[in-house]
């Protein structure tokens, strides 16, 4: 077994590198998709289709959940998505406050 691991050490390291890269890039992709849906929900609010912030949040969570289910991404729950949406909304509000992300929003 040890000889096998030694003989294929570069292949194993390459596979580990690919998995780590996919995890990091996947998080960026997820955040971008959530941000796109947040902007769409805000536009729908301006158009009068969504009335409150809770409706906007629920619309974003439901649509992101549907997207992840279509892509067959496992271990994604609505609670995980809701947590990410709230985190990104807080970061966006902090950035709009004074142009910096510095926890200046209450």
List pLDDT tens digits, range 80-102: 888 888 888 887 777 776 766 67
Distance of alpha carbon 91 from its chain centroid, rounded? 13
**Average confidence (pLDDT) over 12-40:** 75
CB 45 within 8 A of CB 56: yes
Query: What global pTM score does this model have?
Result: 0.61
Whether residue 39 is predicted with pLDDT greater than 80 in this model: the reply is: yes
CB 99 within 8 A of CB 82: no
CA 81/CA 85 separation, integer angstroms: 6
Report DSSP state, residue 100. Answer: S
Res 25: pLDDT: 66
């Amino acid at each position: 077994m040890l000889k096998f691991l030694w003989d294929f050490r570069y292949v194993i390291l390459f596979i580990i590198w690919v998995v780590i890269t996919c995890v990091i890039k996947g998080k960026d992709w997820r955040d971008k998709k959530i941000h796109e849906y947040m902007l769409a929900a805000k536009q729908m609010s301006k158009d009068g289709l969504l009335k409150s912030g809770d409706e906007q949040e629920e619309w974003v969570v439901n649509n992101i959940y549907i997207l992840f289910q279509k892509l067959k991404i496992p271990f994604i729950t609505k609670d995980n998505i809701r947590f990410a949406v709230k985190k990104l909304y807080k970061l966006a509000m902090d950035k709009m406050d004074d142009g910096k992300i510095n926890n200046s929003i209450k």
